[in-house]
Amino acid sequence: MGPPYAVISGNDFRKGGAPYVNQLIIGSNGGPGTPSTDGWVTYGLPVVAGLMYRDSVEIDEQKYPIHFKSMRLMTDAGGPGRFRGSPGARVVYGPKRDPMTVIFPLDGHHHPPKGVRGGHSGAAAYAAKIDRGGTECRVPCVSAEKLLPGEFIVGADTGGGGYGDPLERDPERVRFDVLESWVSMERAREVYGVVFTGQVDDESLAVDVEETAKLRRVLGKGSR
């Protein structure tokens, strides 16, 4: 529950400087892979397991003097596995005009979600601050940050752990993940052992079945 779930507070210039305070619920931790499915991108937190009502960017920006710069799922953040953990979200926001205080704890900073039965761990969470010059620097995982106009807080949620050996994943699922930018071409080859022909840009990407089988045999021997 890092910056995407932070408590924000300050004074709203649009309402004569009236104070405001509220907790954001706008992040998305990646769900874990299971024996039969990939992790859910809508997982949120373990205690809600996909049933969380997330904030609307537009409504948050209407109600509070806050500006969301970006929100996206992160590439290679989900733990590789026969069934992949879901990638977490990276959220960047800051004040519209006056200073804003952002208070948060951040789980998964030192110990990201682990994979099981040969699955790999998901990406660790992190928090950072972007200064007015655009430089991004990490901040403590439990923090109260004061943001000035032109500054932004960054919150990257954990990715879910993978389930099972990545070399056993259906290559067509890997192809889909690459097309969705959830998995990079490099990880597809180096971790999942999938070789492609064609390109991502024109969606001509296709699995090279023969070369994939060869590479997986080589990677499988190297992991023993």
Residue tagged 């992160």 (tokens): 74
User: Do 92 and 153 form a contact (C-beta atoms < 8 A)?
Assistant: yes
Domain ranges (residues) in the chain: 3-156, 167-222
Dihedral sign for Cα atoms in the order 216, 218, 223, 224: positive
pLDDT at 224 over 70: no
**How far is Cα 45 from Cα 40, in angstroms, rounded to an integer?**
11
According to DSSP, the β-strands at 136-138 and 66-73 are: unpaired
What pLDDT, in 10s, does the model give residues 14-39?
A: 999 999 999 999 988 889 999 999 99
**How far is Cα 30 from Cα 45, in angstroms, rounded to an integer?**
8
**How far is Cα 197 from Cα 34, in angstroms, rounded to an integer?**
29
What pLDDT, in 10s, does the model give residues 42-99?
A: 887 777 766 778 899 999 999 999 999 999 999 999 999 999 999 999 999 999 999 9
What pLDDT, in 10s, does the model give residues 122-158?
A: 999 999 999 999 999 999 999 999 999 999 999 999 9
pLDDT at 103 over 90: yes
* Residue 1: predicted pLDDT: 78
* Residue 114: predicted pLDDT: 96
* Residue 223: predicted pLDDT: 64
Q: List, in order, residues 6 or more apart from 30 with CB less than 8 Å away.
A: 39, 41, 43, 77, 78, 79, 85, 86, 87, 88, 113, 122, 123, 157, 158, 159, 160
Name the phi and psi angles at 207, rounded to 5: -80, 130
What's the mean per-residue pLDDT of the chain? 94
What pLDDT, in 10s, does the model give residues 163-182?
A: 999 999 999 999 999 999 99
pLDDT band at 218 (very low <50, low <70, confident <90, very high): very high
Residue 191 tokens read as 């971790």
Name the phi and psi angles at 58, rounded to 5: -65, -40
User: CB neighbours (10 Å) of residue 49?
Assistant: 12
* Residue 53: predicted pLDDT: 84
* Residue 208: predicted pLDDT: 96
* Residue 192: predicted pLDDT: 98
For residue 29, the SS3 value is: strand
* Residue 27: predicted pLDDT: 87
**How far is Cα 102 from Cα 191, in angstroms, rounded to an integer?**
37
* Residue 51: predicted pLDDT: 77
First to last CA, the chain: 37
* Residue 49: predicted pLDDT: 66
* Residue 102: predicted pLDDT: 98
Region of 39 (left: φ > 0; alpha: ψ -120 to 50; beta: rest) is: beta
Once rounded to an integer, what is the mean pLDDT over residues 101-121? 94
